[in-house]
Amino acid sequence: MNKEPDGPEGRLRRFATIWSRAIFPVTATSLTRQEFEEQLLPHARVLRDALTARVFDSATGHAVGSALVDVHCTDPEALSRTLDVVDAYLVLYCGAERDPEELRARCARVQHAVAAGFAQALRERTRAEQEAISRAALDARHAVAEALHASEARFRAVFEGAAIGIGIADLDGTVLQVNEAMLRMFGGGLDKYIRGRKVNEWTHPDDAPQVWRLYEELVRGERDHYRVEKPYYRQDGTVLWTNLTVSLLRDADGRPQYQLALMEDTTERRLLNLRLRYEATHDALTGLPNRTLFFERLEKALSAPDGKRFGLCYLDLDGFKAINDSLGHAAGDRLLVEVADRLQSCATAPGEMVARLGGDEFVALTTGPDTEREVDELAGRILSMLAIPVRIEGRELTVRGSIGIVEGPAGERTPAEVLRSADITMYRAKSAGGNRFELADPKVDASTITRHSLTTALPAALERGEFFIEYQPLVHLGEGSVSGAEALVRWLHPQHGVLGPDRFIPLAEDTGLIVPLGRWVLEESVRQAHAWHQRHLPGGPVRINVNLSPCQLYHPGLVADTVDILERVGLEPGSLCLEVTESALIGADDDLLKPLRLLAEMGVNIALDDFGTGYSNLANLRRLPVSELKLDRSFTQGMQHYPADQVDLKIVEGIVSLAHSLNLSVTVEGVETAVQADQLRRLGCDTAQGWYYARPGPPDRLHTLALVDAVG
């Protein structure tokens, strides 16, 4: 076996060393650190195998968690440190030559399994201990009873040797005797703090309501024992949690005489439980409450008594995906953390909470007395907080958000209904341009289709042929002739009429349906282009532009499918232009770009769509196989009327000259007025697309435009 420091065994050893250093200080063991490390080594090996095994078996991680408990690592801190070490070092030392994404995912599963194994083993151990303690308690009680009647010496032995705290008080509550174990629980050596004091002085704000009632019943002789969970203050002010069993001791004639308290320290177990509960109810990335906790709170708010109201803001970041795709997940994560912090600072009043539902979706809940007004203010605060730019990796990013607000009386709707309504409303805010909030409207809710129902209907829609394509002309700015058309897909939904691509393309991307749908769009529009060519439109062959989603771009069948379609239909590769977004290409390495490069070498044109929205590096353009830039609509918005926005003019001018120097042609999108068209022509843009020339429409309209409407 390889024992070189750099070999697999050496690395495994280093992992075990780090691990043992991390948890040794919080482990109650008599071993030395080195011996302890030896003990951990086989478990480290199990972790490594779990990380790299072809098929993941959670039982292996589970076994390691449970082994930790066996070697006395029962402190919650030991678990937490173990998870940290696994998180930071397992992949590093034990995951050579594997796909890093896969390893990260596997590592997370390993951690879950370890935590689950730990929790279960600890629960089992606690149960065993409790049984032992109950037995000891029973023995002690017998011994005390006997001792009171018989041998004082034997009583002493049990009393002092017991692992649980034992105390005796008279019926007034004055403490007469406590054993060592109980003194230790209260901090040790604090005889005076306990002995001679009254039992009923030890109140604590977290005492359950029945604690003192049961006590009174016992000292009055109305009950023989009770068992409660009770907190105490130690002398140093810290809190001791106990399982407390109090029994009444009667004299030989059955008259109440003493009370006997048996006390078990549950502080640590309680901490662990709190910790596990915290982890189950909070988002690991941002530390915000997660979906589970949010639903609990929402449920509570909705089942509040009559007259109470609630307000909910459902926030989805605008354009987060583009940031994540172009700057990478680490930057995306940092942005989410920053957003979470800001949200938290917006909702600090009592009755307000913020949670992360997942991805870039957050919620803020308010249950104050005046939610009708407060929830609007809350949404306003959130939007203005988001407006402040975030600095990440030396860049200033502006995140915006869309918020759906639901407000109303408690007791009328279920959490799921409220969330659905909020989601629909958020979408309305997004469709209206984002960076705003909208109020829920029950009439709109009823007629709105949810993302979920659309997603499930997508596959059948493709089979039933519910999709169709509209074409929008691309106009040559110099000659005013139609040089091509962009294919834009629509869905004729049987209930909801025509739906635009923004409604369903993201869903198709999430579910993978985009691949067959995209293939259909490609074939259909290539056929259409072929038909136009056959009819010999004036101005020569018309080029067809087809949008490609990132998933299609990286689908292994892309090149073969495209070639197949072009050949079957009989269209020149040069008559096809594939539009890919800037954000899909950022960060793509040469391997990922290969299919696109192959297509480009074959003569297919590649356009960089929505240019200017993806935070890309202009210097990057050179290594991409593109021949055309499509400038995003946002650049031309400032030029609709005279005088045009000077900054926009300068930017567009700069981009055009850069593009031309790289041999790229420039198409501008969203040209809506003659003023814009004029300016853009003067700035040297090559091609334009927009409502000024024509809205997207059926294929025969393109023909008409070419003959009649062409604008010079």
Closer CB to Ca ion, 261 or 487, in the complex? 487
Would you state the structure tokens that stand for residue 611, as one six-digit string? 């240019």
What binding mask, one character per residue, do residues 50-79 give for Ca ion by CB under 5 A, x or -? ------------------------------
| Interface stretch with ligand C2E, choices 119-127, 138-146, 496-504, 646-654 (CB under 6 A) | 496-504
Q: Which two structure tokens, joined as six digits, stand for 249?
A: 């001791």
Which residue among 75, 352, 610, 686 contacts Ca ion (CB under 5 A)?
A: 610
- Is 287 a residue that touches ligand C2E (CB under 6 A)? no
Residue 670: name its binding partner from ligand C2E, Ca ion, none (Cβ under 5 to 8 Å by kind): ligand C2E
342-345 contacts at long range (C-beta below 8 A, 24 or more positions apart): 342/382, 342/385, 342/386, 342/388, 343/288, 343/315, 343/382, 343/385, 344/288, 345/385
The distance in angstroms from the start CA to the end CA of the chain is 79
Helix (H) or strand (E) holding 546: strand 543-547
Of the candidate residues 37, 407, 610, 628, the single one contacting ligand C2E (CB under 6 A): 610
- Under the binding rule (CB under 5 A), the answer on residue 689 touching Ca ion is no
Identify which of residues 221 and 501 has a Cβ nearer to ligand C2E in the complex: 501
Any contact of residue 580 with ligand C2E (CB under 6 A)? no
Per CB under 6 A, which region of 15-23, 136-144, 174-182, 542-550 contacts ligand C2E? 542-550
Q: Could you give the CA distance from residue 408 to residue 120 in angstroms, rounded to a whole number?
A: 42
- Residue 392 pairs in a beta bridge with 395
* Phi, psi torsion values for 696, nearest 5 degrees: -60, 140
Stretch that binds ligand C2E, among 221-229, 274-282, 456-464, 544-552 (CB under 6 A): 544-552
**Cα separation of 356 and 282, whole Å?**
9
* Residue 505 interacts with, from ligand C2E, Ca ion, none (CB under 5-8 Å by kind): ligand C2E
Q: Is 126 in the site for Ca ion (CB under 5 A)?
A: no
470 binds Ca ion (CB under 5 A): no
CB atoms within 10 A of CB 96: 11
How far is residue 196 from each of residues 173, 176, 191, 411, 598, measured CA to CA in Å?
9, 6, 9, 53, 90
Write the burial class of residue 697 (CB in 10 Å: 0-12 exposed, 13-18 middle, 19+ buried): middle
Is there binding between residue 454 and ligand C2E (CB under 6 A)? no
Site string for Ca ion, 518-547 (x = CB under 5 A): -----------------------------x
242 close to 185: Cβ distance less than 8 angstroms = yes
| Nearer Cβ to Ca ion (360/579) | 579
The yes or no reply on residue 411 touching ligand C2E (CB under 6 A) is no
Q: Is 676 in the site for ligand C2E (CB under 6 A)?
A: no
Instruction: Give the shortest CB-638-to-Ca ion separation in angstroms.
Output: 17
Site string for ligand C2E, 497-536 (x = CB under 6 A): ---xxx--x------------x--x---------------
| 579 binding Ca ion? (CB under 5 A) | yes
| CA–CA separation, 638 and 678 (whole Å) | 13
Over the window 686 to 705, marking each residue x when it contacts ligand C2E by CB under 6 A and - when it does not, the resulting string is: ---xxx----x---------
- Span interacting with ligand C2E, options 66-74, 164-172, 395-403, 685-693, rule CB under 6 A: 685-693
CB atoms within 10 A of CB 109: 14
Q: Answer whether 649's CB lies under 8 Å from 683's CB.
A: yes
Give the per-residue contact string, 289-328, with ligand C2E (x = CB under 6 A; - = no): ----------------------------------------
Query: Contacts with ligand C2E in 644-673 (CB under 6 A)?
Result: 669-672
- Rule CB under 6 A: is residue 489 a binding residue for ligand C2E? yes
Short-list 158, 153, 159, CA closest to 176: 159
The DSSP string of 103-147 is HHHHHHHHHHHHHHHHHHHHHHHHHHHHHHHHHHHHHHHHHHHHH
- Binds 628: which of Ca ion, ligand C2E, none (CB < 5-8 Å by kind): none
Which of the choices ligand C2E, Ca ion, none does residue 73 contact, using the CB cut-off of 5 to 8 A by kind?
none
Query: Where are the strands (E) in 129-253, listed by range?
Result: 165-170, 175-178, 225-233, 239-250
Contact, 671 vs 436, CB < 8 A? no
Determine the Cα–Cα distance for residues 116 and 63; give it in Å rounded to an integer: 10
Number of C-beta neighbours around residue 550 at 10 A:
18
State in angstroms the smallest separation of the CB of 527 from ligand C2E.
Answer: 14
Return the structure tokens found at 547.
């949008």
| Nearer to ligand C2E among residue 365 and residue 499 (C-beta) | 499
Point out which residues bind ligand C2E (CB under 6 A): 472, 488-489, 500-502, 505, 518, 521, 547-549, 579, 609-610, 633, 669-672, 689-691, 696
Point out which residues bind Ca ion (CB under 5 A): 547, 579, 609-610
